[in-house]
Amino acid sequence: MAVHTVTDASLATEVNGRRQRRSRPQGLPVSTVAALIWLGVLLTLAILQPVLPLPSATSQNLLARLTPPWGFGGSVEHLLGTDHLGRDLLARILVGTRISVSLALVGMLIGALLGTTLGIAAGYRRGLLDQVISFLIDFSLAVPFVVIALVALTLFGTGMAVLIPLLGLSGWEQYARVARANTMRVTQELYIVAARGLGASPARILFRHILPNQLAPLLVMATLHLTSLVLLESSLSFLGLGVQPPTPSLGNLLGEARNYLQIAWWLPLFPGLTLVLLTLAFNELGDWLRDVTDPTTRGRR
């Protein structure tokens, strides 16, 4: 009996210790902190670019064309050097970052709103509406969106009026799938059945019970979707089908730099490095949000 008593006591102590360890707040991973710092610094500089003591992103100075960065034979006036028209590369990177991220944010909001609305409608109403929306989701998943974007830009031309709706239509089916599955699951819960029995209106059920259950997974998806939209916009601008010169974006900066790879290494290096670190930071933020909101993966990192 004494042995069993000691064993039960040790088990109780271990269980209490585990509970205390689980209840302790855990700090952010180092990679997440680094991603947040990088995003904060980059986006702050991009927003404040008009008031920073930098040359204009569009003003040309042919006498200073292809000036190397400061420390590699260049001047302090152009920290990252200039391009083939003498435009300051740092200012163009900051403006391009602001434009690329802004377009991605607008496209993400459009896709999230459209996909979530259709997904909730399909999961709540069922029937013919669910079949039609499910067919549209399957069709969108079956056809590569890059092909649709190239066809649309060829038919309707380039420009913001075409680019923004295209970015908004990219990835809406992912939101719709998640929202539809969550809605179908939540509508089977007992509190939803009780709310219906008490006479709650469909609008109250949707906004009070169903929509709040969508926020956590859709927030994680929106963060990861933002990365794909930045890459999509950069790819289209690199091909000359997205943001048009002289307005800079990270994509068309790389597109212009491909003609000067051998004589001006800084032109592709700094915009490409900015794009890579930007997408990695958004991915890291999305992974951290997924770990925080998903109890099955919480605490692994």
pLDDT interval class at 26 (50, 70, 90): low
Does residue 203 fall inside a structural domain?
yes
Dump pLDDT digits (tens) for 133-175: 999 999 888 888 888 888 888 888 888 888 899 998 888 999 9
Averaged pLDDT for residues 239-264: 89
Higher pLDDT, 3 or 293: 293
Question: 83 near 66, Cβ under 8 Å?
Answer: yes
77 pLDDT more than 80 = yes
pLDDT of the residue at 300: 52
pTM (predicted TM-score): 0.82
- Residue 168: name the closest of 223, 220, 105 by CA: 105
Residue partners of 122: CB distance under 8 A and separation at least 6: 129, 130, 133, 134, 176, 180, 183
Averaged pLDDT for residues 263-270: 92
Higher pLDDT, 218 or 273: 273
Does residue 14 fall inside a structural domain?
no
CA distance 159 to 265: 29
Mean of per-residue pLDDT scores for the chain: 84
Averaged pLDDT for residues 60-66: 89
pLDDT of the residue at 93: 95
CA distance 183 to 188: 9
pLDDT interval class at 20 (50, 70, 90): very low
Does residue 70 fall inside a structural domain?
no
Higher pLDDT, 154 or 35: 35
pLDDT interval class at 193 (50, 70, 90): confident
301 pLDDT more than 80 = no
Higher pLDDT, 216 or 263: 263
pLDDT of the residue at 200: 77
Question: 140 near 172, Cβ under 8 Å?
Answer: yes
Does residue 38 fall inside a structural domain?
yes
Does residue 224 fall inside a structural domain?
yes
Distance from the first to the final alpha carbon of the chain: 41
Does residue 256 fall inside a structural domain?
yes
CATH number, residue 34: 1.10.3720.10
Does residue 298 fall inside a structural domain?
no
6 pLDDT more than 60 = no
Number of domains present in the structure of the chain: 1
pLDDT of the residue at 46: 94
Does residue 251 fall inside a structural domain?
yes
Dump pLDDT digits (tens) for 227-246: 999 999 999 899 888 888 88
Determine the structural domain holding residue 126 and report its residue range.
30-57+77-293
